[in-house]
Each structure stands twice: as structure tokens, then as C-alpha cells.
Amino acid sequence: MNHIPASQRAQVRLFWMHGVSMPMGVIMFNIIPLFALRLGAGPSQVGLIYALIWGADIFQYLTAPEVAFRQKKRWMFRLYSLAGLSFTGIFLVPMLSSLDAHDLQVPVLICVVGSYNIFVSMALSGWSAYIQKMIPLEVTGKFLGNLSAISSISWLVSAAVSGIFLGGAPALWRYYGIFGIVIPMLFLRVLIALRLPADSMEKIQERGKSKWYALLSPIKDASMLRYCLLAFGLTLLLSICVPLFPVFFRHVLTIPEAISLILLATPYSIAALFGKSIGNATDRGDFYSLTAFALFLAGISLLAVSFLPGGVNPVLTVLLAISVIALYGIANTITLICLGRERFVRVKENYESEYLGLGNASIGIGAVVGSVLGGILPGLIGRWFGSEYLYQWLFGFQSLLMFLMVFLLIIYRYRHN
């Protein structure tokens, strides 16, 4: 395989790394919260778990100056190794049960989730910098599109398998069985990282001043700062509806649970089907025009969601819901791939890690804030306006915000053409 260019070998192995990582994503976002509830965790503790999953993205930025002084391949190997080892700590939970230390089970689980996600976030700082070094910019969109398709397929398969394995009222041993199955995948990811083609470090002698100066360099860059604010705002807008969809489908439209799960999986299916095509389009298209188009589609889909009929014709309701959520999935996939590619366009030579780290953190923190807002808005607004048509109003208002963002992006595009 040595006759194959390093860029192509890197792409193939990065695809494998990302594919074997997705089962762990299902564990963190779907399985761990249910497991915590079984251990007796309260809503605030489950919320803390989600905050640790998303909030750890800040470490992609904070560790960036250190990544610049390291070979990215070795950095990922070490940090992914630490992440895998830290997750094995989850098997301390049943040991605490046997020692009658039940009160410590949830705190230990939270520590395991926090340490794992911090190590993974630090590893991802090297992941983005490695992509910037090894993947040509002109095919970065195509690469990210393929990555989105592969990760979505892996996520869907992992979610389906874990759901079947857990069953309706799972015993605790089933959770530990899933954790035991996923751990070899974590160390397979480490082995793949070890087999990545070697990369180069930044030109350290040209970086000049201290690491703190390097950390602040993207914030001082007006172009990069605009991108980070835009990335934060877009992911925030797109994430508000994520915690609203399950409640709206299940309790307002009275769609059965099994079908609701299909609806929630639709955006991943869209990314799997169209990720490659969307990635190719981002390599040829204009960032602001494509992003405005994606937000327009998202606004249309959320506006359509607010008018979905409930309790009239269940079959029609489900078909319409699948259609509008598919449209939202297309918009979400376009936006994330556009933002992902634009990170690599904005980087400044000798400070690649810092620029990419801040861009990644902006996307992750935007998702955190948006999800939290989506979780608390129904309770806050419901006190003032009542519960009738509450979700329809929220979806409609969110769509108006997206249309406003489309208008602002178009104006900015033509003013700075």
C-alpha cells in the first residue's frame, strides 16, 4: 500500500477511525443518560452529563498551542489511548454496588463521562490539524461529506443494534454488556491512529511569542472571529429544536414511540444518503450562499413542522413529519459540512491548530447553548403563554429567526463580494 499517496491512505484510515468512533457516540448520547437514570440520577445530573459531553469541546481550543509542538498522529494515539483507558472506569460502578456504596455510583459515572470526553476533545484538536496537513483543501468538502455519510451509517447501525440488545425494560447487565462490546472499538481506534501516515509539525521557529499569544491569535483575526460567531450562532439555532422534537412528536402529535425514533433518525439517514454529494457541492460553491440556502431550508422545514396536523389522520401526519424532518436533515448536513470546510479556509499559517481549535469549540459550544435553550424554553414560555400550541409557536419563531439570518447572510455576501 506504500505506492498509494499519503493523502489517500490518510483519508481511508481517518474514515475507519471515525466509523469505529460512532458506536461510542451512541453510548454517550443515548445509552449513558438512560443508564444514569437507572442508577438513580436526577434530571440535574443527567443535564450535567450532557453538558460534559458537549462542553468538553472547549479543550480542542485550549490544547491547540500544545498540539502545534507535536506530531498530530502521535498526539491522537496518546489521547485516544487515555480516553479508552478512562472509559474502562465505568466498571467501577458495579463494584461500588457490591460494596454498598450506591451513593457514589452516579458521581463515578459523571467522572468517567467527563474524563473520557475531555481526552477525546483533546485528541480531536490533533484530528483537525492532521486533516489540515494531509487532505488538500480542494477536496476537503468531499472528504467531510464522505465522513458525514460514514459516521451517519455507523451511528444508525449502532443505535439499532444497541436498542435491540437493551430491549424494553433492560436489566443492568445489558448496559454493562454494551459497554464491554464498545471498549475493543476504542482501542481499535488507537491502533488505526498508530497506522496513520506521518505528518509534520508547524514551523515552530516562525511562531515567535508565547503559547498564550498563539492561543489569542485567532481571536485577534477579524475574519476568523466572524466565522466563529457565525458558527456559534448557526449551531445554536439548529440545536434549539433538537430537545423539542421528541416531546412534540410523542405528546403533541401522539405519534407512537417506535415511529418517533424513526423520525429522530431521519437526519442521520439524510446525511448517509446525501453527505458525499453535499460535500462535493461545498468544494465548488460559495460558503455564504450555501449556508443561506441551508438556513432557508431549515426555516421552511420548521415552519412546516408547526403546521403538522395532529390526531386527524395518523398516517398522513407521520408521512408529512418524515418529509419535513428529512428537509431539516438536508439543511443541517449542508450547514455542518460548510462550517467544517470553512474552518480550513480561514486558518493562518503557523497557527493552524489554534484556528481550527477555536472553530471546533465554537460549533460545539453553540450546540450546547442551543440544546440547553431548547430544554428550558418550553417551561419558561409556557408560564406566560400557556401550553396550548406552545411548540408550534416555538418552531414558528425559530423559523423566523432562520429567515432573518438568511437575509443577513445575503446582505453580507453582496456587500463583501
How confident is the model over 281-304, as pLDDT tens digits?
888 888 888 999 999 999 999 888
Within 8 A by CB and 6+ apart from 30, the residues are 159, 162
Rounded Cα–Cα distance for residues 340 and 325 (Å): 22
pLDDT tens track for 353-372: 888 888 888 888 888 788 77
CA angle 248, 253, 254 (to 5 degrees): 105
pLDDT tens track for 16-33: 998 899 888 888 877 888
Min mean pLDDT across 156-165, 217-226, 353-362, 392-401 is at 156-165
pLDDT over 70 percentage in the chain = 91
Q: Average pLDDT of 136-142?
A: 88
- Look at residue 43 in the predicted model and tell me its pLDDT: 63
- Look at residue 168 in the predicted model and tell me its pLDDT: 60
Q: Average pLDDT of 117-123?
A: 93
Rounded Cα–Cα distance for residues 156 and 275 (Å): 14
Output 162 or 80, whichever has higher pLDDT. Answer: 80
Which residue's C-alpha cell is 414511540? 257
Does the pLDDT at position 204 exceed 70? no
Q: What is the pTM of this model?
A: 0.81
| Contact predicate 118/56, CB 8 Å | yes
Backbone angles phi, psi at 10, to 5 degrees: -65, -45
Min mean pLDDT across 45-59, 97-111, 254-268 is at 254-268
Most confident of 295-309, 313-327, 370-384, 385-399: 295-309
Rounded Cα–Cα distance for residues 326 and 323 (Å): 5
Rounded Cα–Cα distance for residues 373 and 27 (Å): 23
- Look at residue 403 in the predicted model and tell me its pLDDT: 93
Instruction: Read off the pLDDT band of 1 (50, 70, 90).
Output: very low
Angle between helices 257-284 and 140-166 (to 10 degrees): 170
Instruction: Read off the pLDDT band of 4 (50, 70, 90).
Output: low
Which domains does the chain show, CATH number per domain? 1-198 (1.20.1250.20), 210-417 (1.20.1250.20)
Output 16 or 101, whichever has higher pLDDT. Answer: 16
